[in-house]
């Protein structure tokens, strides 16, 4: 059996187990999700793969579970020798110190902390979950200790990086509650940094954190966040965040079946990607024209237009994407 068939069958088995546990017939579960009983039966038997986020989220909503419980992400994370400790470390990093809280530990020399921060940022695109979880708790404490030193602004920016990495880790390991906590911490850190790029990054983080559970709300947060910084697009970092917010809004629109709205958001992102200086890597977003094309491909798949997806994909060179095994593997 192929890997994709095993994956589809795994979702089907979990779908049936949860449906039976809920006491729902095929017809009842299908009606709640907006599908026929016959279609749902094909998914449960592994005959029909789930190719769209909207389908997965509709089924999860009908069964009152998170999408990760159907895909098995949460189960795999709990069983994996690397990700289990990573989740525990992540909880510690997010709960040990509240933003602005004084820490008892003396501040380590800033060059040492800055080196650890650079190493942490290098781990994120590698999807090195265990290593990332291991360094976050101590690094968060170290950066808080420097909020009262002359390195305060750099420490604040470092905390934004840490909480963004924590959100990435939580989301990929199937722990959505921690992703929301990380997003709130990131918002607190960005609020202490002046500049529309930081406000936009906070909105992007929030939209990402709630995206799977509330697409309507995610769209509203991303759209409003983009509107709030639209007057500052002559600044490349702001343009990067603005474009990323429109990509997030495009995905939310597409999963809600609003294809025209999704196309508008994509076009806006494509237009801003041509501005001079765009592609700064701010916030580890790595927004660019190539990135927009990747999103166009993904959303064509989401729309069920495989032919269009292939056509767009032919014009994308994966080698032009950021040097990130995680992103390139997803592509």
Report d(CA 34, CA 36) in Å as an integer.
Answer: 7
- Structural domains counted in the chain: 3
The CATH number covering residue 313 comes to 1.25.40
> Do 325 and 125 contact (CB within 8 A), yes or no?
yes
One domain for residues 168 and 295? no
Per-residue model confidence as pLDDT tens for the chain (331 residues): 333 433 445 788 888 888 877 777 888 888 888 888 888 888 888 888 887 878 888 888 788 777 777 776 544 444 344 456 777 778 877 887 887 777 877 889 999 999 999 999 988 888 788 888 889 999 999 999 999 999 999 999 999 999 999 998 888 777 778 888 999 999 999 999 989 999 999 999 999 988 877 889 999 999 999 999 999 999 999 999 999 999 999 999 998 889 999 999 999 999 999 999 999 989 888 899 888 998 999 899 888 888 898 999 888 887 777 666 666 666 6
272 is in which domain, residue-wise? 194-331
Q: Quote the pLDDT of residue 94.
A: 82
Do 145 and 170 belong together in one domain?
Answer: yes
Token pair for 319? 């080698």
Q: Is residue 202 located within the same domain as residue 279?
A: yes
Both tokens assigned to 30: 């299908």
My answer on whether 64 and 167 are in the same domain is no
Tokens, residue 120: 């942490």
The rounded distance, in Å, linking the Cα atoms of 152 and 143 is 8
The closest alpha carbon to 144, from 194, 179, 108, 180, belongs to: 108
Task: Identify which of 149, 153, 216, 217 has the alpha carbon closest to the alpha carbon of residue 183.
Answer: 217
Q: Clarify whether residues 88 and 51 are in a common domain.
A: no
Q: How many CB atoms lie within 10 A of CB 141?
A: 18
170 in the same domain as 232: no
Identify whether residues 164 and 226 lie together within a single domain.
Answer: no
Q: Does 61 share its domain with 105?
A: no
pLDDT at 9: 52
**45 with 131, same domain?**
no
pLDDT of residue 57: 81
Residue-wise pLDDT tens digits, 71-102: 765 444 443 444 567 777 788 778 878 877 77
Looking at the fold, whether 211 and 316 belong to one and the same domain comes out as yes
Q: Please state the pTM of the whole predicted model.
A: 0.77
Q: Are 319 and 249 in a shared domain?
A: yes
């Amino acid at each position: 059996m192929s890997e994709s068939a095993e994956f589809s069958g795994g979702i089907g088995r979990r779908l049936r187990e949860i449906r039976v546990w809920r006491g729902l017939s095929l017809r009842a579960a299908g009606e709640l999700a907006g599908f026929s009983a016959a279609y749902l039966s094909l998914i449960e038997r592994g005959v029909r793969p789930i190719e769209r986020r909207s389908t997965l989220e509709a089924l999860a909503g009908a069964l009152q579970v998170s999408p990760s419980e159907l895909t098995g992400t949460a189960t795999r994370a709990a069983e994996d020798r690397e990700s289990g400790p990573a989740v525990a470390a992540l909880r510690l990093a997010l709960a040990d110190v509240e933003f602005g809280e004084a820490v008892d530990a003396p501040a380590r020399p800033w060059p040492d902390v800055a080196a650890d921060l650079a190493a942490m940022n290098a781990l994120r695109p590698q999807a090195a979950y265990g290593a990332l979880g291991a360094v976050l708790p101590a690094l968060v404490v170290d950066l808080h200790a420097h909020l009262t030193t002359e390195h305060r602004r750099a420490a604040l920016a470092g905390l934004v990086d840490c909480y963004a990495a924590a959100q990435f880790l939580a989301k990929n390991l199937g722990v959505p509650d921690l992703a929301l906590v990380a997003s709130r911490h990131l918002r607190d850190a960005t609020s202490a940094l002046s500049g529309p790029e930081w406000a936009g990054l906070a909105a992007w983080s929030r939209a990402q954190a709630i995206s799977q559970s509330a697409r309507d709300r995610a769209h509203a947060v991303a759209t409003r966040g983009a509107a709030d910084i639209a007057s500052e697009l002559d600044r490349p970092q702001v343009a990067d965040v603005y474009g990323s917010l429109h990509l997030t809004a495009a995905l939310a629109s597409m999963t809600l079946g609003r294809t025209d709205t999704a196309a508008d958001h994509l076009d806006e992102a494509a237009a801003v990607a041509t501005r001079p200086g765009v592609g700064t890597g701010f916030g580890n977003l790595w927004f660019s024209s190539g990135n927009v094309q990747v999103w166009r491909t993904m959303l064509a798949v989401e729309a069920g237009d495989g032919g269009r997806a292939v056509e767009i994909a032919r014009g994308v060179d994966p080698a032009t994407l950021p040097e990130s095994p995680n992103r390139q593997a997803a592509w």
